[in-house]
Amino acid sequence: MKDGADGVQLLDVYDLLPFDNPDGGAWKQGFEISYKGDEWDEQPLELILVPHSHNDPGWLKTFENYYQDQTKHILNNMLIKLTEDSRRKMIWAEISYFSKWWNNIDEQKREMVKRLVKAGQLELVTGGWVMADEANSHYFALLDQLIEGHQWIQRHLGVKPSSGWAVDPFGHSPSMAYLLKGAGLSNMVIQRAHYAVKKHFAQQQTLEFLWRQNWDSSPRSDITCHMMPFYSYDVPHTCGPNPAVCCQFDFHRLKGGRASCPWRIAPQPITEQNIKERALLLLDQYRQKSRLFRSPVLFVPLGDDFRFVESSEWDAQFGNYQALFDYFDQHPELHVKARFGTLSDYFGALHRRLNAAGTTLPTLRGDFFTYADRDDHYWSGYFTSRPFYKRLDRTLEATLRATEILFSLTLAEMRRFHGDDRLVADFPTSKHFQRLTAGRRNLALFQHHDAVTGTARDPVVVDYGTRLFRSILNLHQVLQSSAHWLLLSDKSQYHHDQSKPFMSLIVFNPTEQLRSSVVSVVVDSPGARVVDAETGRPMTTQISAVWAEPSRASTEHFQVNNSWILFNYLMYKLQLRSGLLRRVQVQFLWYGTRTQTEKSGAYLFLPGDKGAQPYSSLDPPLVRVSRGPVFSDITSCFQHFSHTVRLLHLDGHAGRSLEISNTVDIRSEVNRELVMRLVSDVANSNRFYTDLNGFQMQQRRTLSKLPLQANFYPMSSAAFLQDAASRVSLLSAQSQAVASLRPGELEVVLDRRLQQDDNRGLGQGVTDNKLTASLYHLLLEDRRGGAQVRGTSVWTFPIGLVCYVSHSFFMEHLSLLAHLISLSLSHPPMTMVTSSDSQVPKLHRFLPLRSSLPCDVHLLNLRTLEDSQKAESPSQEVALLLHRKGFDCSSTPDVELQCTWSVHEEFYIYFKLF
């Protein structure tokens, strides 16, 4: 498919491709490449070889063990070997590792690092804390780990990254491209895209493109993207199309070493006797690869996972390649100039050549999910693997954001009392900021593409989980301490030693709009009464049982539920304002796995030939029904899960949807995956929508020419089906795999238990399942208001937000109502019990906003920055991040929203922090 005036749309590419996977010869997933030999006579081939070492912050080993065993040695050798020869260069991506190493080297070595960076020999690429997963991660966490890395680089090295490097995430999202462009990057490299898409792009010479957002009709969001054409980012799959030849130029695999070539042709040290033959053999691969691009500038990576650990590898790689480069220089008739370089070197040369030739790159819209690396091996399993930790990830995210906001507001309020040191002396500012920093970095670490994905070994998963839990607990201390200080009428009553609790419940609404919510607290008496501490008035309360077992209620604990105003077995009938009635059936089913050798694992979803089988139980479910003034619900308890549907008796958007929760336990199963399927009569044909990172919606097309597992996509927070009359949206509090395999159906994978490895390097199955909760809201909306769409964008302070309209056929947004419900799922009310060493002090309301922000404006974060002069201490600077959400206007909410619509094309918000 040639790119037209509007560029390439990946959805159209998927419709076009046959996905027939013929044998391409040496390049199995591609085709034979030919050239005449005189193509470079006028414009010599400019080769830039980019050394790299991909360091996973946890996978087969924990972050700490990888650092001690490998990473610190790589960086120590880097310092020595790059200093030895100014022609040598390298890129580095993972700031989590780099910062840890920096903390362990002396000032002299730090100065050496700064000189290498200034000279362009060492380039920090992307600048994120990790090389983040792009399927399961929410955009709050993606942006936060990017900020953490960039802030560290700016503070210690005084530079800003300009190019992105994402060679190992299992598919790629335009949300990440947008964030990188907003962070000041101009270029990026990606690797893991479907092999059929790569082949098609190679045939069309569109492997380099301007990645544009679906909603954007202008080039302002464009970022130059280079897609690697072959199977992997290792040396055998980067010099050219023939891995058997390329492996001979991975000099880490010389005879006698620990690594060898699977093609059984070993590398040879470059000597005077063999240099001509070796140089021409390698040049042939370079020339073939060059024919896949529009420019005579060729990018070739040199590296792999945890490479350059030993000094001998540095010498072997750099020494032998420099000899080859020298040979090219001595033979101008070959028309090739080769050198070591960085991403900045490559993209700088690329843009110069393109500009000189008047060549423009095509634009591309869309995403690169779902990834397949060979045959019918689709990586849709990791969209759900280890769901317990995926839910924990979002819990930490919500806790961190709430704590960031309260902590920043507390510091601002404290500056109002700066004349009375007695009022602020007890608040442990530095200690709390260190807890915040640790929370940021543990959330950031978990965005790594082997962490939130659920694709690490069991001990590594435990290490991640321990970090997440510890951070949640520590952040709650900061949250409670900040809230306590803000609410005290007499600040002198604040005491940091809060070891003696009193029962004063504080509820923090972490969203930017007034909202009605249900707040639940476990108490030890059914006679508990809740009153407003400020007015003394009783609040609407519902006492519920805490169930010790499905059929036995606890006699020691009870749940108090309050209505707060704050900033195939079940059939639900949902009726629209128009009178249209929709029925949504909920089914539970099992997927098994294949009987042959290749089976589902942590990465791959390879279901059995029978597809999904209905969940069946010998015993009928135990069903509990409860009714009350705050909510009513029905719970069905089966052997492997309990399923609850709850209707909230609240005004506003909170009472407009059905709350669905599942508690899943499949630890007794072998090679099975449990799914929840919603079946409706929505006539959506083969099209449905899923979110990308909670940031935007992406159209999906269920294609019969693809295997079942290829039609599953990541859902970070939302998915919906729609026809001309209505839309059914499923809003989620955690990331999972989702599909719409037949019209009217939406299918969510709840948990996976798999006994074997799927041959992608992990070396184990997924058998560490836990009792896991999942939470959703189901929303039905009328669509008879006409199709209108408002745009989406993120800015940082200072704020100037512009709403713009897009007419893209491929783009849809959530409605305003769905956005608000999704926000309430992601950021529930934070409850705290304040404490004191004496009697209950006088508390008062704290309202930092005079009124709700507009309905489509989300206060993404209010992040206190680190003091530039004093490490691990807060500065007086705060990063204010606002997101103006794009929303679909075809459905006008049939409830009164407790915020105002943004109706103007532009608006400005000013915050004053004392």
> Annotated catalytic sites, by residue?
168
Q: Report the amino acid identity of residue 349.
A: A
C-alpha angle 379-381-387 in degrees, rounded to nearest 5: 140
Bond into 370 cis (ω within 30): yes
Give the span between the Cα atoms of 634 and 179, in whole angstroms.
Answer: 42
Give the start-end residues of each E strand in 694-823: 696-701, 713-715, 718-722, 726-732, 736-739, 745-753, 772-782, 793-796, 801-802
Burial tier of 213 (Cβ tally within 10 Å: 0-12, 13-18, 19+):
buried
Give the span between the Cα atoms of 913 and 408, in whole angstroms.
Answer: 9
> What 8-state DSSP symbol labels residue 274?
T
User: Three-state DSSP class for 90?
Assistant: strand
Structure tokens at 840: 């209950």
Do the bridges between strand 570-575 and strand 581-591 make them parallel or antiparallel, or are there none, so unpaired?
antiparallel
Give the span between the Cα atoms of 74 and 503, in whole angstroms.
Answer: 54
Q: Report the amino acid identity of residue 839.
A: Q
Q: Report the amino acid identity of residue 87.
A: R
Give the span between the Cα atoms of 776 and 778, in whole angstroms.
Answer: 7
Structure tokens at 689: 């929508």
Burial tier of 495 (Cβ tally within 10 Å: 0-12, 13-18, 19+):
middle
User: Three-state DSSP class for 475?
Assistant: helix
Chain Cα centroid distance, residue 293: 30
If we measure between CA atoms, which residue out of 231, 238, 230, 172 comes closest to residue 202?
230
Give the span between the Cα atoms of 379 and 271, in whole angstroms.
Answer: 43
Do the bridges between strand 736-739 and strand 552-566 make them parallel or antiparallel, or are there none, so unpaired?
unpaired
Structure tokens at 220: 């302002």
Inter-residue long-range contacts of 566-569, CB under 8 Å, 24+ positions, other chains counted: 566/507, 566/509, 566/514, 566/515, 566/516, 566/517, 566/519, 566/829, 567/509, 567/510, 567/511, 567/512, 567/513, 567/514, 567/515, 567/847, 567/849, 567/852, 568/614, 569/621, 569/636
Within 8 A by CB and 6+ apart from 29, the residues are 21, 195, 196, 198, 199, 230, 231, 374
Residue in the structure block whose two tokens are 């990308």: 692
Structure tokens at 49: 């070889």
At residue 732, φ and ψ (nearest 5 deg) are -120, 145
**DSSP symbols for 404-453:** HHHHHHHHHHHHHTTT-GGGTTTS-HHHHHHHHHHHHHHHHHHTBTTTTT
Give the span between the Cα atoms of 77 and 75, in whole angstroms.
Answer: 5
Within 8 A by CB and 6+ apart from 880, the residues are 796, 797, 799, 859, 861, 862, 911
User: Please, how many CA atoms are within 13 Å of residue 140, restricted to the half-sphere of its CB?
Assistant: 27
Strand (E) or helix (H) holding 357 = helix 343-357
User: Three-state DSSP class for 627?
Assistant: coil
Cβ–Cβ under 8 Å, residues 834 and 395: no
Q: Report the amino acid identity of residue 438.
A: A
Structure tokens at 439: 């929370």
